[in-house]
Structure 1
Amino acid sequence: MFACAVTEGVATVTMNAPPVNAMSDAWVAGFVRLLDALEARVDWSVLHLRSALKIFAAGADLKEMRARFAVADGVAAQLAAVRGYQALFARIEALPRVTLAEIGGSALGGGLELALACDLRVAAWEAKLGLPELRLGLLPGAGGTQRLTRLCGRAASLRLILGAEMVDGAEAERLGLVQWGAPFSELPAAATAIARRYAALPAHAVAAAKSCITAASDPARDGFREEIEQTHALLHEDRTRVLVRGFLDRSDRNGA
């Protein structure tokens, strides 16, 4: 279901569960095991998530949904599955490393919710993105209503979720749903370049900045206080001190 390769500080995870990377119980369990293995390693600072298929990910596995709806306790089983998606996506969102979703094909329902859990998204202009659950009398309950609203605002969320609307990558970029767009033929190179650019930055500073950015949308946290605390910690880091000293030495040599 997943292939992982770590190169130049980037852990590239390629989803490959034909035909559509459907999110089954086995898929979720496999992703959890993958994260367990990655978190035990220190040779990567960017998680680059992509698909080997024409579709990025199409959401919940329909066979499993059908089986759950066919039994008396199916509702409880379906709710348990949704909680599993929520837990996985929350774990991805909370990673102290940078996470990037490369959306080359359709990202619908849970597939888009997976991408929304990543810090960064780059999509092919030709890709289709949407949360169409309302067409089935459901809602995007794996974090879609929350993350999309935080990301794009209430107006865009009302448009996309209540209208069950699908947009292409170009419109997704305009709405702020993704940060970058590119023609499909150029997407892999663009995503790789983005991942490597972020991987070149000091991982400990990235983790500190990500924590402060997260605090900005959490009313229970004082983001300004966290900036001071994180800065204090960074100033005591040998890695930071070496970088700052080198910068100051270069400035002195250049007459600054």
Structure 2
Amino acid sequence: MSPMFKTRFTGAALELTMARAPVNAINRDWIDGFEGILDDLAGQPDIAVLLIRSSERIFSAGADLKLMRDCFSTEDGPDRMIETVRLMQRLYDRIESLSQVVVAEIAGAAQGGGFELALACDLRIAADDARLGLPEARLGLLPGAGGTQRLSRLAGPGVARRLILTAEVVTGVQARDLGLVQWAVPADQLSAFAESVVVRIAALSPAALAACKHCFSAADADLGKGMLIELLETHKLFNAADTRKRVREFLDR
């Protein structure tokens, strides 16, 4: 495993700690390491939840500065940067499509590609004083690893335009009020709160959680298609041994 990451299994949960000092900057090696962890996770259907957190003072500052310097100092730099952004898009799409519930624990800051990573997660928990944003326009760039798309879907076009077109960076509390994160808690309580959320999710049926995520993915389609997917997923769950066991135990109580 890449030294940029640490993993730990706890029951039905996998804790993934980003550990690339000092700010979890994103480069090709970082992307490859993350992909490798997802490869391992794909073969473990009994894992219900993935928690993504950081061992550093911030969640992630986004793209590696050396990568950006190379982009503007070499002839093939722009093409290499575009390829890296394409790989980031693919990684974040893969995170969003996981059958597991993915929780981001955001301490310090999540900006640029780091915030785009958080946007690909199902649930986001931020420290009250965390700093979140997509300030790429300050550099004449745009958040190209899904930022314009996921932020618009998550918080609506008005909020997305406000943050991206003004390069505004908000606190964890402001992010919660804008619908960017589901929870904002004091920094000294962040880890414990995130772990309590993970424990709650890990107690649920992995198959049911995966089915719910499939239904969520159809929410942007027409209503009829989404409801048909609900019926199909419900039918599969009714026939699942784990569901039958859980329902039987509930009825017996």
Structure-1-length-normalised TM-score: 0.95
Give the distance between the partners of 1:11 and 1:217, measured in 2 at CA: 29
SS of residue in 2 equivalent to 1:59 = coil
Q: Which runs of 5+ in 1 are unaligned?
A: 251-256
Q: Report what 1:185 is aligned to.
A: 188
Query: Does the alignment pair 1:172 with 2:175?
Result: yes
> What letter corresponds to residue 193 of structure 1 in structure 2?
S
- The 2-side partners of 1:14 and 1:118 are apart by 15
1:45 matches 2:38: no
Distance in 2 between the 1:41 and 1:249 partners? 30
Residue 221 of structure 1 and its aligned partner are, at CA, apart by: 8.2
- 2:96 aligned with 1:93: yes
In 1, are the aligned partners of 2:5 and 2:18 still within 8 Å (CA)? Answer: yes
The answer for the alignment partner of 2:251 in structure 1 is 248
Q: TM-score, structure 2 length as denominator?
A: 0.96
Matched, 1:11 2:14: yes
Is 1:147 matched with 2:146?
Answer: no
Cα displacement string for residues 132-171 of structure 1 (whole angstroms, at most 9, x for unaligned residues): 0000111000000010110000111011010100000000
Which residue in 2 is equivalent to 1:212?
215
Maintained 8 Å contact 2:45/2:206: no
CA displacement, residues 156-208 of structure 1 (integer Å, 9 cap, x when unaligned)? 10110101000000000001100001000000000000011011100101100
Task: Work out which of the residue numbers 56, 59, 80 in structure 2 matches 1:56.
Answer: 59
Contact 1:50 1:102 in 2 (8 A): yes
**AA of the residue aligned to 1:241:** R
| Partner in structure 1 of residue 117 of structure 2 | 114
Residue 43 (structure 1) shift: 4.6
Deviation per CA, 1:87-114: give whole Å up to 9, x if none: 0000000000100000011100000000
Residue identity opposite 1:18 in structure 2: A
Q: How does 1:128-139 map to 2 (within 5 A)?
A: 128-139=131-142
Q: What number of residue pairs does the alignment pair up?
A: 250
Q: Is the 8 A contact 2:18 2:55 kept in 1?
A: yes
Root-mean-square deviation (CA), in Å?
Answer: 1.3
C-alpha distance in structure 1 between counterparts of 2:77 and 2:57, whole Å: 31
1:237 to 224, 240, 244: 240
Deviates more, 1:234-243 or 1:149-158: 234-243
**Taking every aligned residue pair, what percent have the same amino acid on both sides?**
51
CA contact (8 A) 1:89 1:117 kept: yes
Contact 1:6 1:43 in 2 (8 A): no
Amino acid at match of 1:227: E
Could you list the structure 1 runs, at least 4 aligned residues long, displaced by more than 4 angstroms after superposition: none
State the distance in 2 between where 1:87 and 1:219 align: 25
- Describe the shift of the 1:221–1:70 C-alpha distance in structure 2 as closer, same or farther (beyond 3 A): farther
Question: Could you tell me whether the CA contact under 8 Å between 1:215 and 1:221 is conserved in 2?
Answer: no
Would the aligned equivalents of 2:125 and 2:181 in 1 still touch at CA under 8 Å? yes
1:28-85 Cα distance to aligned partner (Å, 9 max, x none): 0110111112222345211000000111000001101211222222221111111000
Q: Identify the residue that residue 24 of structure 2 maps to in structure 1.
A: 21
* Paired residues of 1:130 and 1:166 also in contact (CA < 8 A): yes
Q: Distance in 1 between matches of 2:6 and 2:53?
A: 10
